[in-house]
Amino acid sequence: MQPIPIVGVLALQGDYESHARALEQVNAQPKMVRTAAELEQVDGLIIPGGESTTFLKLLEREGLFAPLEKFARTRPTFGTCAGCILLAKRVTHPEQESLGVLDATVERNAYGRQIDSQIVTGETSLPGGPLEMVFIRAPRLTELGSGVEVLATRDHYPVLVRQNNILAATFHPELSHAGSVTERDSPDDLGLNPDRRVHQYFAQMVFDASQQVKNSGSSTEPRRVQILAAERE
């Protein structure tokens, strides 16, 4: 028996519902986050893909930019595609504002237009062999600070990285499936076994962080909704 932390999914735009389903598949408890009050109710957060400039406008409109920056500096935060752009310290092509919590430079739309999007398989240090990666108008991590660990690459460029409590991917792990995929309109109806290693990795980051809070005796207790018997690799 072990406690299950609540993992928030920023639900302002992007495919946040697919991230929520992926979290459920790795025995995590997802919670949609749209306000600063809801952000305070989660132990970790996923910032999904979308359009990064639109994200910035929505964050400002909802009064979420400053609370999100504060959260991401100390709590487990995972950004995918546009979420990766928002986390980086430096954004190019063109330059734009960001949360500045990941010591990296990211180039927007580095692989061309949406028509140039593709599915590739790349090397990863995660257990289980090569990782399927879905790139949709993807950014590229062009520079990394010395404290950033590379977990997966594409054409020698990092595509999945970690820096302390921050995880970032330039692809869409919520769309990854084990095996060949030719039709992705309804991936949950394909009868395939989804590849959830990236979400499992982040769920473990959130669990480990919540345990550290508990063991330190901090007054900030992890927010848990239930205790389940959960299998973790």
Burial class (CB in 10 A: 0-12, 13-18, 19+), 185: exposed
**Distance (Å, rounded) from C-alpha 167 to C-alpha 150?**
10
Q: What are the tokens at 22?
A: 């992926």
**Distance (Å, rounded) from C-alpha 34 to C-alpha 8?**
10
DSSP three-state, residue 27 = coil
User: Is 51 part of the annotated catalytic residue set?
Assistant: no
User: Is 84 part of the annotated catalytic residue set?
Assistant: no
**In 25-154, where do the E strands start and end?**
29-33, 44-47, 77-80, 88-92, 102-107, 118-122, 131-135, 140-144, 149-154
**Catalytic one among 81, 84, 132, 199?**
81
**Catalytic one among 19, 84, 132, 172?**
172
**Catalytic one among 107, 132, 174, 177?**
174
User: Is 97 part of the annotated catalytic residue set?
Assistant: no
Residues acting as catalytic residues: 81, 172, 174
